[in-house]
Structure 1
Amino acid sequence: MKVVLCGPPQSGKSCLREGLKQVIHALNRKGQAPYPYFITACPDGEGSWFAETARRDINEAKRYKANYKSDFTWEFTKVRAEWVRNSTEPLTVVDVGGKIDDKNRLIMQYATHAVIISRDLNLVADWLDFCGELNLKVIAILESDLHGTEDKLESEFPILRGSIHGLKRGEDVSNRPMVNKLAEVLLRLI
């Protein structure tokens, strides 16, 4: 299963990726989940190292991010698309950029499923259409509520729907109910 975390920019995709990574790795260590492979497929400079560094020193993380940030070139895109295409892990999670464009289309075409996360639910329809064009099964639609104080579960079937609060860089979100519910859904689908 190859799952894309997609949606508009500044919606918390990278924070969600990190929370999922922590939850699923912890379950993997207990023998309760397969090894998850996480791919950062956007050149925003926020690799999987960012969250851990930010928890230790946010200024250091910002400096590294500025150094690693690059242009979304076709060369970068083709390499990430090959990573997705060639992944043979039972669970691959791909964090893509926040634009509906040909570069994300190239990367996402090799995925099987999608999680749409958006800070504005009015922007979800375009992402649903994009995922539909790529024949991706949308398994979750999450509203990112930066200033909220709690997660809200609206429904689990046929699509996980709800909101997730406070996806802030450098914060541990692995204990959030929606992060754990999404991990549960992903593992159930494998």
Structure 2
Amino acid sequence: MTSEFPLQLDVIQLETELGICQTLAITLTERTDLIPTSVLPNLKSIIPEDLDFSQGVILFGMSPIWLYGFLVECCRNAPWIACYDVRTRMAVVVKSNIQTLAVGDTISIIFNRTPGIAILIGGPPDSGKSVFSYALRRSLFEKDKRLKVFIQRANWDGEGNWVLEMSDRQKANELKEANTRRIHLLENREKIMRNYFGFHAKAIKNIRDVMDIVLVDVGGMVQDEKKPILEECSHYIIISRSQEKVGEWHDFCRSLNPAIVIHSVLEEKLVRLENEDYLEVVAGRWVTGETVRVPDIIVDKVLECYRKY
């Protein structure tokens, strides 16, 4: 890899139900900005020489969809190509030149490792959960580039990392609104919500097998339907603009280990409060498009939870 590329490609081996499979691992080396599409014309120069196109290839790692598309094209002569889906812990075949594997087939990956931690991030609406979780992921990576951190958005407000990364705030808000699924307002909402949060609970379990830290944004409402998610988490963080709501979230998360309580404010501020049970701070401000990092005291606490677990 050369320094001009904000990513690294390595050939590793993953154990699967088919045996050991050749895998092209994608590692982002600079997560402070989006990967520029300008890297594409010269990206072939960092394809590892030991990538064997006489074998199948699994693409593995977090990267933009357009990069996956480019790598699929680069590997087109391989017998088959599959993309790893962290939520299902399977590789999905997207191209095949052989009869024994068809497009759409899945390949189970076998991981032998201690699961990472999953931190539920809760708090009332408009407290800064989405901004905080995104900034926390970036800050954790800057602190330790070996960490594998994943954000699981287990809510239906239509907001993903892309909302926080877009420079056009108006377009981002329009897309967010268009992708919001208000399933709690549907007639059959009870069944849909059980299935919805059951899916996310299973996804979190699978993601923990691969990632060191999973940040789980569960939205702004305390709901019994979210309890399956609690069962797959290990810790919790509360970020709240309302002091009255903190106790409600503590009660909801009582089966988990408390890590941090953030009393969210609109101004730039960081004050640590006296608390021996968990880290408690008054902190701000959490603004989309502006807040990209969290204070070191918060990052260090999350790392402490990970290392003790």
Question: TM tier, shorter chain?
Answer: 0.7 to 0.9
Residue of structure 1 in register with 2:58 after alignment? none
Partner amino acid, structure 2, of 1:165: G
Confirm or deny: 8 A CA contact 1:40 1:48 kept in the other structure.
no
1:25 CA drift (Å)? 2.3
Q: Percent identity?
A: 26
Which of the pair is proportionally richer in helix?
Answer: 1
Give the Cα–Cα distance (whole angstroms) in 2 for the partners of residues 149 and 3 of structure 1. 25
Paired position in structure 2 for 1:112: 234
Aligned residue type for 2:216: V
2:137 corresponds to 1:37: no
Deviation at 1:155, TM superposition (A): 4.2
> Superposition pairs for residues 15-164 of structure 1, below 5 Å?
15-29=131-145, 31=146, 34-53=147-166, 56-72=167-183, 73-74=192-193, 75-86=195-206, 87-88=208-209, 89-132=211-254, 135-146=255-266, 148-155=267-274, 157-164=276-283
Deviating 4+ runs (over 6 angstroms):
none
| 1:167 and 2:286 matched | yes
Aligned residues: 179
> C-alpha displacement at 1:58, in angstroms?
0.4
**1:183: which partner in 2?**
299
Instruction: Give the drift of 1:85.
Output: 2.1
Q: Counterpart of 1:58 in structure 2: which amino acid?
A: R
CA contact (8 A) 2:148 2:213 kept: yes
1:68-116 Cα offsets, whole Å, 9 max, x none, are 1112442332221111122212211101111111222222221010001
Q: For 1:166 and 1:48, how far apart are their aligned partners in 2?
A: 18
Deviation per residue, 1:113-136 (Å, 9 max, x gap): 00011101121111111111xx11
| TM-score, scaled relative to structure 1 | 0.87
Whether 2:122 is the aligned partner of 1:6: answer yes
Distance 1:68 1:156 in 2: 40
Larger RCO: Structure 1 or Structure 2 (Cα < 8 Å, ≥ 6 residues apart)?
1
- Distance in 2 of aligned mates of 1:173 and 1:164: 14
Distance in 2 (alpha carbons) for counterparts of 1:159 and 1:59:
38
- 1:156 to partner: Cα distance: 6.7
Question: In 2, distance between residues paired with 1:103 and 1:59?
Answer: 32
What's the TM-score, normalizing by structure 2? 0.55
Secondary structure of the residue aligned to 2:298 is helix
Which segments of 5 or more consecutive residues in structure 1 lack a partner in the other structure?
none
Contact 2:285 2:291 in 1 (8 A): no
Counterpart amino acid of residue 92 in structure 1: V
CA distance in 2, matches of 1:152, 1:110: 31
Deviations 1:111-169 (Å, cap 9, x if unpaired)?
A: 0100011101121111111111xx111111110102x2322122474311111112112
Mapped to 2, the partners of 1:2 and 1:156 lie a distance apart of 23
In the aligned structure 1, how far is the partner of 2:281 from the partner of 2:148? 26
Q: Name the CA distance, whole Å, in 1 between partners of 2:259 and 2:274.
A: 11
Output the CA distance in 2 between the equivalents of 1:115 and 1:187.
13
User: Which stretch has the larger CA shift, 17-26 or 70-79?
Assistant: 70-79
Q: Which runs of 5+ in 2 are unaligned?
A: 1-116, 184-191
